[in-house]
Chain A
Amino acid sequence: MDSYQNIMVNGNEAVAWGALCSNIDYFAHYPGSPINMVEPAIKKLVSKFNMNIAINDSLNEHIAALCAAGASYCGARSLVVMKHVGVNIAADPFNYLGYTGVKGGMVIVVGTDPGANSSTGEEDTHWYAPQFNFPLFEPTSVREIFDYVVQSYELSEKYSIPVLIFIPGRLCYNSDSIQIPDHLYGNLSGHSSNPIYYFKKDNKKYINVGKRAIQNHRGLLERLEKLSQNSNYSKKYFNSKAKSGLITRGLTFGNVYESVIRLGIQQKVHLLNLDLVFPVNADIVRDFVKGKNEVTIIEDQDGFLEFHIKAVLFNKTKCLIRGKEFFPKYGEIVFKQVSDYLSNLFNIKPKKYNFSPCENIIPERLGTFCEGCPHRASFYAIERALQGTEGVIGGDIGCSSLPPFRADWLMCMNAGIGISQGMSHILSRQTVISTGGESTFFHGGIISLQNAVLNRINMIHIVFDNRVIGMTGRQASPTTRKNVNYKKLLKSIGVDRLSVVSAFKPSKFAKVLKKEIQQKGVRVIWVNTPCAQTPDLAAKLKRHILLPFIDSTQCRECTLCYDKLCCPAIYRTNEKNDQFNIDTARCMRCGTCRDICPNNAVKTNFAAPLPKLVSGCVKLIFNSLK
């Protein structure tokens, strides 16, 4: 028997281990929570085992999907990772990858988010599986994530079809130990040489039009049908002779399994979990419902499995099939809902507790900007410039959307520039200021801007260039290494006016914006200020040298810094009056409060005697050079 290596991983890391143990050669991704940690895990392992893997830090999911397909056409095993909403962006190529088929195994891992814990919505991406005609796995544990990534490559190559794996947020951040058989673990250290791949031309496969497209579509459906018939990716528990059945997928399995045991109804129910959620294996389902009076399908979101199971069983059973009559289509299915449902079904009185918690409602800690965040200063400047008007601020995805009230909408990637463009096109009395980070700009915003130029739309777009993809873990963006000449870029696509400002000078920023509002054409304001979490050397030196404070003799309690800028480093010294000061442990020395203070009350001292400051600065410079 094969021995194994025991490793401790979370769901994200399990994807990385599974893919690398499967000998992938190509990895493409666009970061997005909850699946944002696969990329660092892959890079760490590649470095640790000195592996030779082509890594594509893609600018959006569409290009990530196409690049991985290209590698796969040449015979390389590829992995593509994105969050659920990213599938919308990549849907175009995914619709046709099944037609062409793949040579090297291609696995698409998607982080889903029932409950919208780290997303702007909880879109049910499952419906894409039958549209793409890709098989879809939904693991129930971290161990299964690893197993199904490995098996998906075999399946993908056997049936020449990309395989989807959906992992809900809760499982992405779940941790467990997994056992990797030595024959798979050995692939890690054996992957240092670069195999020679070859693209074999095949017009019948790769050029899809008219009859060829129909032929390939038919071929895809036949392969999928074969895969469905030949695979049994499911697990059954409890009493197979019971008259009541429960069917689950993904994380609802654990809730149901444990509820059955807690309630002691193992003899009364039979539980089936479908790991391969699409295509549904008709034989497994028909066999399961045989002899049962009723079956309840318990799953998150829309009822994808219920829909497909009912289709498979239509006119073939007298068994009562139910699901969404009892469980909501929104939010995450929580343990209590499952436990309560089964208690009611079997007339079991729930356990009573002699405790009732206090009734206070604890407010949500809605997202906010970090201390020293350039977005905070930028929004302050925009609000100042629009003060007294009915101006509209178009919001986009990313850290700039964190406090959910600074912009007027929060929807999807590039909704800032897109919706603002439509509004600017027709509004005459209201000024529209479109905003978005540099990551969304390169993700698709640049095309929207080109569109505004093409259609001669009078609009202002502000790009918050903080030089990282901040929200998902500070991955590199095109401006991270300063190798993008955005001035030339914007000029070449025909932008009429470009201003470059620093976020930390909001007075100047507001003046520039006011001036631009009076102009015509496509105007861009590029806010060039690094993220507070990845400070440059100048920011680090400032933090070392300066000690800011609010001079109470000059402060007139206007509360601009506290109530309007809302910097968390500024605090009331006394709850009863409006005296303020700066928490220097939190303050990042961005200087925004000093810039906006109308009374010059924000002052700075040196943080230490001069010799100590100098030696500290030398150390900082030396470390940054390293």
Chain B
Amino acid sequence: MHNNPFNLIISGLGGQGVFTLTKALWKLCEMNNIKCQSSTFKGGAQKHGSIYSVLRIFIKDNKHYDLYSTQILEQELDLIIGLEAWETLRYKEYFNEKTKILMNHHISPFQIERIDSIKGKDPVQLITDLNLDTLIRDFSAKSKQSFGTTKMVNFLLGLEVFKIGIIPFNTADYIKVFEDQIHAGRKLKSKLMNYK
């Protein structure tokens, strides 16, 4: 009997914290004795490049998780956490009618094209038009308001996963694990630890 793992993609751009969130979720799985395969892809660019990670969380079946594929089969994605709109839409081939989309309302221009082949198109609207279970919020503004920086969007998106109850973890554990992952000043870490 095949127990499909929970398939999750985290997407964004270089510097947005895709890897930090990935590592935090992965560590949380390990802490809870839930096996998880996680792969990250960063390409060649230091900044502004597409970044994504794949997490396959074996909530039901832990035994042979490392024999499974490191890839997700097309149309088998359960959840995508998007830190940027175009980078969320990039993985649409993996969506099915039950895929949940959790996304920051942020659109980053295609830096080097300048002559934009997708001019006039709104990726947020395109995602909304898919009619999937979608939560799109301006997490950048919320991050700025709560932490004084937009760099905590990844943290807030991760927190939302637990609020929705998709993965059954303790929020306090998540905050602690996340704090371990980031290289931030004392001030920001203290704000994080006191975050409610």
Which of B108-116, B154-162, B168-176, B183-191 lies on the face that meets chain A? B108-116
Q: For residue B137, give the distance in angstroms from its CB to the closest CB of chain A.
A: 21
Find out whether the CB atom of A261 lies under 8 angstroms from the CB atom of B2.
Answer: yes
Partner of A357, one of B30, B71, B130: B130
Tell me if A584 counts as interface (CB < 8 A to partner B): no
Find out whether the CB atom of B46 lies under 8 angstroms from the CB atom of A174.
Answer: no
Tell me if B93 counts as interface (CB < 8 A to partner A): yes
Tell me if A606 counts as interface (CB < 8 A to partner B): no
Find out whether the CB atom of B92 lies under 8 angstroms from the CB atom of A358.
Answer: yes
Partner of B67, one of A257, A334, A339: A257
Q: Given contacts A355-B96, A360-B118, A365-B48, are A171 and B111 in contact (CB under 8 A)?
A: no
Q: For residue A119, give the distance in angstroms from its CB to the closest CB of chain B.
A: 8
Whole-angstrom distance between the alpha carbons of A170 and B47 in the complex? 20
Find out whether the CB atom of B43 lies under 8 angstroms from the CB atom of A367.
Answer: yes
Tell me if B146 counts as interface (CB < 8 A to partner A): no
Chain A residues lying within 8 Å of B37, measured Cβ to Cβ, are 174-176
Tell me if B165 counts as interface (CB < 8 A to partner A): no
Find out whether the CB atom of B114 lies under 8 angstroms from the CB atom of A358.
Answer: no
Q: Given contacts A357-B92, A357-B93, A362-B89, are A367 and B49 in contact (CB under 8 A)?
A: yes
B-contacting residues, A296-320, CB 8 Å:
none
Binary contact readout A202-240 vs B (1 if CB under 8 angstroms, 0 otherwise): 000000000000000000000000000000000001000
Whole-angstrom distance between the alpha carbons of A375 and B41 in the complex? 24
Partner of B44, one of A251, A357, A362, A402: A402
Chain A residues lying within 8 Å of B69, measured Cβ to Cβ, are 254-255, 257-259, 335
Chain B residues lying within 8 Å of A538, measured Cβ to Cβ, are none
Chain B residues lying within 8 Å of A339, measured Cβ to Cβ, are 73
Find out whether the CB atom of A254 lies under 8 angstroms from the CB atom of B70.
Answer: yes
Find out whether the CB atom of A336 lies under 8 angstroms from the CB atom of B50.
Answer: no
Chain A residues lying within 8 Å of B109, measured Cβ to Cβ, are 571
Tell me if A143 counts as interface (CB < 8 A to partner B): yes
Tell me if A368 counts as interface (CB < 8 A to partner B): yes
Partner of B118, one of A363, A399, A403: A363
Name the residue of chain B whose CB is nearest to the CB of A365. Answer: B50
> For chain B, what secondary structure do more than half of its interface residues adopt (helix, strand, loop), or is it mixed?
loop
Binary contact readout A537-551 vs B (1 if CB under 8 angstroms, 0 otherwise): 000000000000000
Chain B residues lying within 8 Å of A571, measured Cβ to Cβ, are 109
Chain B residues lying within 8 Å of A366, measured Cβ to Cβ, are 112-113
Chain A residues lying within 8 Å of B117, measured Cβ to Cβ, are 363
Our count of residue pairs bridging A and B at CB distance below 8 angstroms stands at 143
Tell me if A325 counts as interface (CB < 8 A to partner B): no
Binary contact readout B75-96 vs A (1 if CB under 8 angstroms, 0 otherwise): 1000000000010011011011
Tell me if B45 counts as interface (CB < 8 A to partner A): yes
Find out whether the CB atom of A355 lies under 8 angstroms from the CB atom of B75.
Answer: yes
**Which of the four size classes fits the interface of chain A?**
35 or more
Name the residue of chain B whose CB is nearest to the CB of A172. Answer: B39
Name the residue of chain A whose CB is nearest to the CB of B150. Answer: A585
Find out whether the CB atom of B71 lies under 8 angstroms from the CB atom of A175.
Answer: no
Tell me if A500 counts as interface (CB < 8 A to partner B): no
Which of A23-31, A452-460, A562-570, A597-605 lies on the face that meets chain B? A562-570
Whole-angstrom distance between the alpha carbons of A140 and B114 in the complex? 41
Tell me if A485 counts as interface (CB < 8 A to partner B): no
Chain A residues lying within 8 Å of B111, measured Cβ to Cβ, are 365, 368, 566, 568
Whole-angstrom distance between the alpha carbons of A140 and B72 in the complex? 16
Tell me if A482 counts as interface (CB < 8 A to partner B): no
Tell me if B196 counts as interface (CB < 8 A to partner A): no
Whole-angstrom distance between the alpha carbons of A515 and B38 in the complex? 54
Binary contact readout B94-128 vs A (1 if CB under 8 angstroms, 0 otherwise): 01110100000000011111100110010000100
Q: For residue A474, give the distance in angstroms from its CB to the closest CB of chain B.
A: 9
Name the residue of chain A whose CB is nearest to the CB of B73. Answer: A335
Find out whether the CB atom of A117 lies under 8 angstroms from the CB atom of B41.
Answer: yes
Tell me if A2 counts as interface (CB < 8 A to partner B): no
Find out whether the CB atom of B89 lies under 8 angstroms from the CB atom of A360.
Answer: yes
Tell me if A141 counts as interface (CB < 8 A to partner B): yes
Find out whether the CB atom of B44 lies under 8 angstroms from the CB atom of A471.
Answer: yes
Tell me if A390 counts as interface (CB < 8 A to partner B): no
> For chain A, what secondary structure do more than half of its interface residues adopt (helix, strand, loop), or is it mixed?
loop
Find out whether the CB atom of A403 lies under 8 angstroms from the CB atom of B73.
Answer: no
Partner of B110, one of A177, A353, A355, A363: A363
Name the residue of chain A whose CB is nearest to the CB of B3. Answer: A261
Chain A residues lying within 8 Å of B75, measured Cβ to Cβ, are 353, 355
Chain B residues lying within 8 Å of A354, measured Cβ to Cβ, are 97
Binary contact readout A243-264 vs B (1 if CB under 8 angstroms, 0 otherwise): 0000000010111011101101
Find out whether the CB atom of A358 lies under 8 angstroms from the CB atom of B126.
Answer: yes
Q: Given contacts A170-B70, A264-B2, A336-B74, are A566 and B39 in contact (CB under 8 A)?
A: no
Tell me if A151 counts as interface (CB < 8 A to partner B): no
Whole-angstrom distance between the alpha carbons of A241 and B36 in the complex? 33
Find out whether the CB atom of A566 lies under 8 angstroms from the CB atom of B72.
Answer: no
Q: For residue B27, give the distance in angstroms from its CB to the closest CB of chain A.
A: 7
Name the residue of chain A whose CB is nearest to the CB of B27. Answer: A8
A-contacting residues, B22-45, CB 8 Å:
23, 26-27, 30, 37-45
Tell me if A118 counts as interface (CB < 8 A to partner B): yes
Q: For residue A80, give the distance in angstroms from its CB to the closest CB of chain B.
A: 23
Name the residue of chain B whose CB is nearest to the CB of A264. Answer: B2
Tell me if A287 counts as interface (CB < 8 A to partner B): no
Tell me if A528 counts as interface (CB < 8 A to partner B): no
Chain A residues lying within 8 Å of B67, measured Cβ to Cβ, are 140-141, 237, 253-254, 257-258
Whole-angstrom distance between the alpha carbons of A410 and B46 in the complex? 18
Tell me if B68 counts as interface (CB < 8 A to partner A): yes
Q: Given contacts A362-B86, A365-B110, are A143 and B46 in contact (CB under 8 A)?
A: no
- Per CB-CB distance, the 9 closest pairs between chain A and chain B, nearest first, are A357-B92, A254-B69, A355-B97, A367-B45, A368-B112, A335-B71, A141-B66, A174-B39, A370-B47
Tell me the B residues contacting A by CB distance below 8 Å.
2, 4, 13, 23, 26-27, 30, 37-50, 66-75, 86, 89-90, 92-93, 95-97, 99, 109-114, 117-118, 121, 126, 129-130, 132
Could you name 19 residue pairs across A and B whose Cβ atoms are closer than 8 Å?
A173-B41, A174-B37, A175-B39, A255-B71, A257-B67, A264-B2, A335-B74, A339-B73, A358-B129, A363-B118, A365-B45, A365-B49, A366-B112, A370-B46, A403-B112, A562-B114, A563-B114, A566-B114, A568-B47
Tell me the A residues contacting B by CB distance below 8 Å.
8, 10, 33, 117-118, 140-143, 170-171, 173-177, 237, 251, 253-255, 257-259, 261-262, 264, 334-336, 339, 353-355, 357-358, 360, 362-368, 370-371, 399, 402-403, 470-471, 533, 562-563, 566, 568, 571
List 14 additional A-B contacts (Cβ < 8 Å) besides A258-B2, A261-B2, A363-B117: A170-B41, A173-B40, A174-B37, A174-B38, A175-B37, A254-B68, A264-B2, A335-B69, A353-B97, A358-B130, A362-B86, A362-B118, A367-B45, A568-B111
